């Protein structure tokens, strides 16, 4: 399974929750922090579960999420 990580731009996030709903691995959650606009922003609750599928980034209407993928080194298959 590929691994991934996401970077959330807290100032872009409007706390709509779409990314939470679409993440198949239950990685994301609302943080207790609010941004300058007063929105409750999203954070990685279970970062180790992220598979880098990018559903969250594709769903975000505010382009607040960037996804990075990490390939598992596996040689000699």
**Residues lying near ligand SF4 in the complex (CB under 6 A):** 4, 6, 8, 13-19, 23, 25, 27-28, 42, 50-56, 59-60, 62, 64-65, 67
CA 18 to CA 55: how far, in whole Å? Answer: 10
Strand-pairing partners, residue 8, are 65
Q: 36 or 77: whose CB is closer to ligand SF4?
A: 36
Q: 18 or 34: whose CB is closer to ligand SF4?
A: 18
E strands, 1-77, where? 3-8, 28-34, 40-44, 65-70
CB of 44 to ligand SF4, least distance (A): 7
């Amino acid at each position: 399974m590929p691994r991934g990580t996401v970077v959330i731009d807290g100032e872009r996030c409007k706390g709509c929750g779409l990314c939470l709903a679409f993440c198949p691995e239950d990685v994301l959650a609302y943080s207790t922090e609010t941004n300058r606009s007063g929105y409750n922003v999203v954070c990685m609750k279970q970062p180790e579960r992220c598979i880098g599928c990018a559903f969250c980034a594709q769903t975000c209407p505010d382009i607040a999420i960037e996804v990075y993928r990490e390939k598992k080194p596996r040689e000699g298959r």
